[in-house]
Every structure is written in structure tokens, then in C-alpha cells.
């Protein structure tokens, strides 16, 4: 085990783990957007629309800002990033 990992573990580690486990669900309900909660596990190499995460195959004719796409994995990572940022802000 490295020194860095030993520094993380200590007498206060169980306390902070218990605190995080008890606060995380409550804060998730109060701060996190419902859409982010539903899609933060999205993954795959198929294309989805950046605006709402719907698959490109359902409506391949969007144009302009509505037509911007990304992979499903990138869309899920954006959602997780917003989720983490909401915890850091609160």
C-alpha cells in the first residue's frame, strides 16, 4: 500500500464514509436535476443528440443547434460532471 493510500485511511475514515453515505441520497434529491439522474449511467458508441440524449436513429433530420450530436458515453459523462459539480457547489 502506498503512503498516499495510508494517508486517506485513518481514524476519521469511517466517520467521513458514514457522513457521505447519509448525506449523498438527500443532497442528490434536492440538488441534482432529474434528467441527469436518469442518464448519468448512459454509455455506448452510438450517437445521441446533445440537447436531450435521444438516439439519432429516431429522428435523423434535426438541423442547427438541435442537430448537434455526441456519443452516448460522452453524454453520460457530461451528466455525471454536472452531478459532481452540484455537490461541490452546495
pLDDT of 27 reads: 64
Nearest-angstrom CA–CA distance, 86 and 80: 10
Nearest-angstrom CA–CA distance, 8 and 13: 7
The predicted model scores a pTM of 0.59
Name the E strands within 1-90: 47-49, 69-71
Nearest-angstrom CA–CA distance, 21 and 3: 25
Cell 457530461 sits at which residue? 78
Better-scored residue on pLDDT, 12 or 72: 72
Amino acid at each position: 500500500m502506498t503512503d498516499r493510500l495510508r494517508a486517506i485511511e485513518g481514524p476519521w475514515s469511517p466517520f467521513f464514509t458514514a457522513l457521505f453515505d447519509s448525506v449523498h441520497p438527500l443532497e442528490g434529491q434536492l440538488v441534482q436535476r432529474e434528467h441527469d439522474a436518469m442518464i448519468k449511467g448512459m454509455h455506448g458508441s452510438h450517437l445521441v443528440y446533445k440537447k436531450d440524449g435521444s438516439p439519432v436513429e429516431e429522428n435523423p433530420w434535426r438541423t442547427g443547434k438541435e442537430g448537434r450530436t455526441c456519443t452516448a458515453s460522452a453524454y453520460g459523462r457530461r451528466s455525471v460532471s454536472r452531478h459532481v459539480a452540484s455537490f461541490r457547489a452546495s
